Structure 1
Amino acid sequence: MKSFGFQGVIGAIDCTHIKIKTPNSDIEHVYVCRKGGYSLNVQVVCDYNLKILDCNARFGGTAHDASIGIASALRVLLIRNYENGDRNFRLIGDSGYLLLPFLMTPA
């Protein structure tokens, strides 16, 4: 895998809003997107070849990228691997994510 100077990078992480139909009125507040309308905020991790390594589509449009990252099963797995001594991997993400030992974000 090419890393373009980022040692140990296994992929990139980001979220994107996927437009959905208007949900039931009792839950629509969860899906209101900051850009108007309703959406799912879907987190995806892909490698250099654009192969999807992980996808999380459980959150409505009101969820922030950092909240999705904190609540994801992927984070639990990566923390466990890191704490067990596997420190040869990194993800890169944007400023919507928290800086973690295995997640590089802009300063």
Structure 2
Amino acid sequence: MPCVIGCLDRTHVKVLSPGGEQERSFVNRKHQHTIIVQATCDHKGRFSSINAAWPGSCHDAHVFRVSELCRHMEENHQDYQRGVLLGDSVYPCRPFLMTPYLNPVTDAEVRFNTAHTGIRNLIERVFGMWKRKFHVLHSEIRMKPAKCSKVIVVCAILYNLALLWKEPDVVDVVVDEQPAADTYTGQMDGRGVRAHIASAYFS
């Protein structure tokens, strides 16, 4: 998969019910009070961005659409050779955000999906290792939402430092090197870019 600069996903962290008018907004589809954590990681399994500011009832695509990460990608990475993120099908396919084909038809599309899934699973593994390392993320954080958000972000920073310092109990994550990108001159929309990548690298 060419030009991948990160994998995007989200997870939920349980929090104490804030009560009052805010209470319902923190209830997710599993009827738990949570904060949505949207994050990206790099090829070494380190967090490269994290957003822990939205209550659990918000839609994942909306959280991404209004994020600083999305704004940065829109302004700086509309050309896929400058880097793309990999996200699952809850996100819209954009020139800088590659999502899998919902109904792959050609062999190239099937292989694209296989490669996409194999790489994007990295962020899911990172979430798992992160939550195992910081048990407060498994249980309910018993603080006000604003403080919960700070705890979550600090845990991500400490996780990165643990990787940097080679602290024990963190499994090393290795991803194969990516192929170099070729030139794309077609229409700059998500589906066009995805079709080009599937054709150029997976046919």
- Checking the alignment, whether the CA contact within 8 Å between 1:16 and 1:41 is kept in structure 2 is yes
Q: Which of these two proteins has the greater Rg computed from alpha carbons?
A: 2
RMSD value over aligned CA atoms? 1.3
Q: Indicate whether 1:22 and 2:17 are aligned.
A: yes
- Checking the alignment, whether the CA contact within 8 Å between 1:44 and 1:52 is kept in structure 2 is yes
Aligned to 1:45: 40
SS at match of 1:97: coil
**1:3-32 Cα deviation digits (max 9, x unpaired):** xxx100011000101100111221011100
- Checking the alignment, whether the CA contact within 8 Å between 1:87 and 1:102 is kept in structure 2 is no
- Range with bigger deviation, 54-63 or 86-95: 86-95
- TM-score w.r.t. structure 2 length? 0.48
Structure 1: segments with no counterpart, 5+ residues: 1-5
- Checking the alignment, whether the CA contact within 8 Å between 2:40 and 2:47 is kept in structure 1 is yes
SS at match of 2:31: coil
Aligned to 2:111: none
What fraction of aligned residue pairs are identical, expressed as a percent?
36
- Separation in 2, partners of 1:51, 1:76: 21
Moved >3 Å (runs of 4+): none
1:26-37 pair list within 5 angstroms:
26-37=21-32
Name the aligned partner's letter for residue 30 of structure 2. Answer: K
- TM-score w.r.t. structure 1 length? 0.88
Name the aligned partner's letter for residue 96 of structure 1. Answer: V
- Give aligned pairs, total: 101
